Amino acid sequence: MLTLVDLHTGDTITLAILDSLEIRDPYTLLAVHTGGELAAHGPTGGATAADSHAATLALDSTTLAATRPTPLHDPAATALPTTCWVDLPTDLAAALRPALDDARTAVLVLLDRTGGRLAAVGPFPTHATALGYQPHRYDGPGPDGRHITGTVWLHPDHGPWLRELANHAQPVWCTNWNHLAAEWIAPRLGLPATWQHVPVHAGGIRFGHQSKLSPLYAWTARRPLAVLDDEFGGKDPFAADQRTADGAPTLLRPVNPYHGLRRADIDAVLTWLRQL
């Protein structure tokens, strides 16, 4: 219990602090918006608590179409019981997509489009763990040369996906990590330490362009180039189109920064390579 006291008036309020990871009957409130966005709110203790949040959502959003309290399945369990699945109309199941403003949720929604159903799993301690990322402790020089310590989240699926790309193209690192990408990140993803890196001093958008692209274009010269990155400038697509028109096919594939690299990103590059 936590009691808050207003020092000027003497008014007090007592709150019960509930650890979301220790909820005995965890539920999430699924919210569907008119554009097909699906958001998960919670976790909460029980269906009634989850359902009570619907009125607040309706006041805050003009696009809310429907809500439904949904039980959370324990992520430590290896199989989903039949009772965890919620039936959906097939047209709704086909139209649903993640809401970007739901990126920090600790709930993972499994959507079976073919079967017209969904299930919710959680709670997870972080958004990264819900997506399958694993923490790696880093203690060494940072991109600017100063010593840093912290956690780097890496996804075990990314290594095999990138090795698959390497069967069709030459992968190179182009990141502020520079040589540390091959020396530190690569072995933790099961990637060879021999992949080259294009030296960059800083990333970010400057004058409408991702600053990493300039040294990458110079290194690539006239060869076809596909770039996977979570940040491009407003002028970058036009520059890529111009490179393509000048005989250097260029693909800029934006990676959703809230979810990181996904299989659809890899498939998009593979499809583009086959069309060259």
Consecutive 10-residue averages of pLDDT for the chain (276 residues): 57 52 74 88 83 86 88 80 85 82 67 88 78 89 83 94 96 90 94 92 82 93 94 94 96 90 95 95
Cut 0.95: pTM above it: no
pLDDT of residue 1: 44
What is the C-alpha separation between 253 and 227, in angstroms, rounded? 6
Per-residue confidence (pLDDT) for residue 131, from 0 to 100: 80
pLDDT computed for residue 262 by the predictor: 92
Residue whose token pair is 């880093």: 138
pLDDT 10s digits, 172-190: 999 888 888 999 999 999 9
How much is the pLDDT for 105? 59
The pLDDT value recorded for residue 264 is 93
Write down the H helix ranges in the chain: 47-52, 54-60, 90-95, 127-130, 158-166, 179-180, 186-188, 213-220, 236-245, 263-274
By CB neighbour count within 10 A (0-12 exposed, 13-18 middle, 19+ buried), where does 253 fall? middle
- pLDDT, residue 162, reads 96
- Which pLDDT score, from 0 to 100, does residue 5 have? 59
What amino acid is encoded at 219 in this protein? W
Question: What's residue 6's pLDDT?
Answer: 62
What is the pLDDT at residue 177?
A: 87
